[in-house]
Amino acid sequence: MSDTLNAASLQGSLTPAFSPLYQQIKGLILQSLQSGEWKPGEAIPSEMDLAARFRVSQGTVRKAIDELSADNLVVRRQGKGTFVATHAERQVQYRFLKLQPDNGNVQSEGPAARTIIDCKRLRASADVARALSLRTGDSVLQVRRVLSFSGVPTILEDLWLPGTPFKGLTAERLSSHQGAMYAMFETEFGVRMVRADESIRAITPDAEQAALLSVTTTTPLLSVERVAYTYNDTPMELRRGLYRTDTHHYRNALS
């Protein structure tokens, strides 16, 4: 069949009608992911089935899935199919954590030990509201936690989440969850973080921050501010982290 002849049937997708056909198919698959038709960890239909569903060639579907895979939205498994990516998988759950031990042995220090310092609901300040596309004064959830590696407090994080999607989130639920926080957001609140923007600078901590990280107020720290987005570029988290870099370094692979 001719892909060109079927392009007109895709006018209602999230991507413009004049975009390449595989991009339109990618948009339609994204719509299904966003609507929850296929949950994190579940298999999506085969390329053959998707080609029949959208009335295009398998090659067009394959190219769309290639891009979704490159964006870490789906994961291909040899001989098994293609699955919706989930933060419960180890190779995905630390995708946004770029702090690495100086000795290069990530496995030796194991997963971070997490201590929830605070979890409370409050009204969004102007800067938090702006980052989360809310109105000043809207309800948000603020979480403060410390991540420790090999018993050493290494990262202090303050998080702000929009109140409505995370109704019912408490310090107790955060403390009792054994997996990655983003995996909990997926399974318990139906919110999947698919990408993030970060800005980085060097700062020194205030007295409270220094005490929580067991450093002095003159210790240089790496300040990392992240806005994480779910599908359709909807911001769902503002995170401000302070990183100790005396035994770790920030490492990012650029391509």
CA quadruple 38, 42, 45, 46: dihedral positive or negative? positive
Q: How confident is the model at residue 229 (pLDDT cuts 50, 70, 90)?
A: very high
Give the other-Cβ count within 10 Å of 104's Cβ: 9
On whether the CB atoms of residues 147 and 141 are closer than 8 A, the answer is no
CA pair distance 165, 192, nearest whole angstrom: 11
Give the per-residue pLDDT at 87: 74
- Give the model's pLDDT for residue 187: 87
pLDDT at 41: 85
Mean per-residue pLDDT, 3-17? 46
Does residue 105 have a pLDDT over 70? Answer: no
Mean pLDDT within 209-216: 97
Is residue 31 a contact partner of residue 54, using CB atoms and an 8 Å limit? Answer: no
- Among 65-79, 213-227, 232-246, which is the least confidently predicted range? 65-79
Q: What is the pLDDT of residue 11?
A: 42
- Three-class DSSP labels, 49-113: HHHHHHCCCHHHHHHHHHHHHHCCCEEEECCCEEEECCCCCHHHHCCCCCEEECCCCHHHHCCCE
Of 8-12, 90-94, 217-221, where does mean pLDDT reach its minimum? 8-12
Report field, pTM of the whole predicted structure over 0.85: no
Residue with tokens 């990392």: 224
Q: What is the mean pLDDT of residues 217-239?
A: 95
Distances (CA, A) of 179 to 6, 87, 93, 186, 215: 44, 9, 9, 11, 28
| DSSP string across 10-33 | GTTSSS-TTS-HHHHHHHHHHHHH
Q: Say whether pLDDT at 233 is over 80.
A: yes
pLDDT digits (tens, 9 = 90+) for 25-63: 998 998 898 888 888 888 999 999 999 999 999 999 999
The identity of residue 36, as a single letter, is G
| pLDDT confidence of residue 190 | 87
Mean of per-residue pLDDT scores for the chain: 86
Whether 212 contacts 117, CB under 8 Å:
yes
For position 90, what pLDDT does the model report? 56
Q: 205 Cβ partners below 8 Å, 6+ apart?
A: 156, 213, 215, 217, 219, 221, 242
CA pair distance 187, 252, nearest whole angstrom: 28
The two structure tokens encoding residue 22: 């595989």
Q: Which domains does the chain have, with CATH numbers?
A: 3-84 (1.10.10.10), 90-250 (3.40.1410.10)
* Whether residue 129 has pLDDT greater than 90: yes
pLDDT at 73 over 90: no
Examine the pLDDT at 13 and tell me if it is beyond 80: no
Q: Give percent of the chain with pLDDT exceeding 70.
A: 85
> Who's near 77: CB < 8 A, 6+ residues apart?
83
Q: Give the C-alpha separation, 234 to 124, whole Å.
A: 17
pLDDT, one tens digit per residue, over 108-124 is 666 788 999 999 999 99
More confident residue, 16 or 138: 138
Q: What is the structure's pLDDT at 217?
A: 97
d(CA 184, CA 174): 8
